[in-house]
Amino acid sequence: MEHLPLFISIEQRPCLIVGGGAVAARKARLLLSRGARLTVVAPELCPELEQQLPEFEWLQARFEAAHLNKHFLVVVATGSKEVNAQVYLLANQRGILVNKADDSKRSAVIFPSVVERFPLQLALSTGGKAPWLARLLRARLDALLPSHWGALAEVAGRLRERVKNSFGSCDERRRFWARAQDDSTLNAYLQHGNLAAAEKWLQQEVQQPSTGEVILVGAGPGDPDLLTVKALNELQKADVVLYDQLVSDEILALIRPEAERISVGKKAGNHSVPQDQINQLLVDHALQGKRVVRLKGGDPFMFGRGAEELQTLVEAGIRYQVVPGITAAAGATAYAGIPLTHRDHAQSAVFITGHCKKDGEEPDWASLASGRQTLVIYMGLMRSAHIQQRLIAHGLNAATPVALIERGTTAQQKVVRGTLDELSLLAVRVESPALMVIGSVASLADSLAWFKAGTNEQEILIERAG
């Protein structure tokens, strides 16, 4: 890394720009916005620079060494390579900070791309190697960063000492601000610019006892890019994260480094932590005043026992939030090129689980076997033969297209396709976690499959005997 990331105040400091063109105009606008005492040396000024007069002093002359005297920062932006090299050399000899436009190797200072919500600033730089990438990232961050966070930073600055005196540890202060930042009342004040009301609200909250909270978060089907912005924010604020086995390493890497991680992974036939113990862990950590994230694959309310965990929190009087996630039925099928509905194939989609509670009732097979719908079966591999037999017995055509999607949306995605009468044979070709899709929409993958997953084949078709 050639440059040290550093914020420097130039308010009322003497700064010099050598050059009078469009680049000089952009640099002048930036330096003036930060309160610099600016001088521009150039025989002529472009129209944009002329419009900024008299905000800066204009020396209508060619550059001379004496122009560098007593300046804190120099920006070189002429069209002459010889003049640029001369200014750079002289400024370096005198220990003056110098920026040479579009030449990071000859710049002690470079100007990063900035996302600003005053007084909040985010600076991005590629060291001058790929300015387009810095601009792209700036645009993305600008779209993600709430407009009122600058006001939040302003109010937080006013109350910093009070919060510090009210909470004994950094963790307690961080939890307070994380809780406050989520509050709809505070956000409404900030969004409307009512800083006085926001400050009063925070003063009252400081006096309230610190309480824990559980956030139930859906991690999506596997691709970390499908994680929602809100889910990512919660991972960055968590004190404790209880996560399932289906959550990918890439998503786990997004958790705040200081957060405690607890694996409570479950998969068919192997429950490493019983559900009642998971419920108790959520309660225990929340009662300690911690911000607890319960991270579940897919969507927490789609066959994920999320509601059961929330019922435990309700009984214990613990606050909670729910952050939905993209469920496997939507994500995996989309990546496999299989639409859940289509006017020519299916007017409805039915989501069912392949296994129920012990002694649970069988599903309504007659209803499931009706045509012109898509069946999406979670956790059905172990009962594939039973599912195949029951659907055919209740009238679903044995030639109905089916697809099994293993580790959908990830680099390890594997899609196996065939027909209903081959379902049990297909099931031995994939491993859990896998999603089962039954319906004529599965045949559309022939033309709509787009995702190329790692080194695996996008499709594997069962060869028919004879």
Catalytic (active-site) positions: 244, 266
Q: Using a pLDDT cut of 90, give the percent of the chain over it.
A: 74
- Residue ranges in 94-194 assigned as alpha helix (H): 131-144, 149-158, 160-166, 170-182, 184-191
The rounded distance, in Å, linking the Cα atoms of 408 and 39 is 60
Q: Are 351 and 376 in contact (CB under 8 A)?
A: yes
pLDDT at position 79 is: 87
Give the span between the Cα atoms of 210 and 213, in whole angstroms. 10
- 275-287 helix and 306-316 helix, angle to the nearest 10 degrees: 40
CA distances from 321 to 30, 181, 186, 234, 464 (A): 42, 14, 17, 10, 50
pLDDT at residue number 356 = 57
- Residue-wise pLDDT for 371-423, tens only, equals 899 999 999 999 999 999 999 999 999 999 999 999 999 999 999 999 999 99
Q: Give the pLDDT score at 458.
A: 45
Single pTM value for the model: 0.75
Q: How far is CA 416 from CA 207, 384, 437, 458, 463, in A?
A: 59, 14, 10, 9, 11
Distances (CA, A) of 95 to 71, 74, 268, 393: 10, 11, 67, 87
The stretch 289-317 carries a mean pLDDT of 94
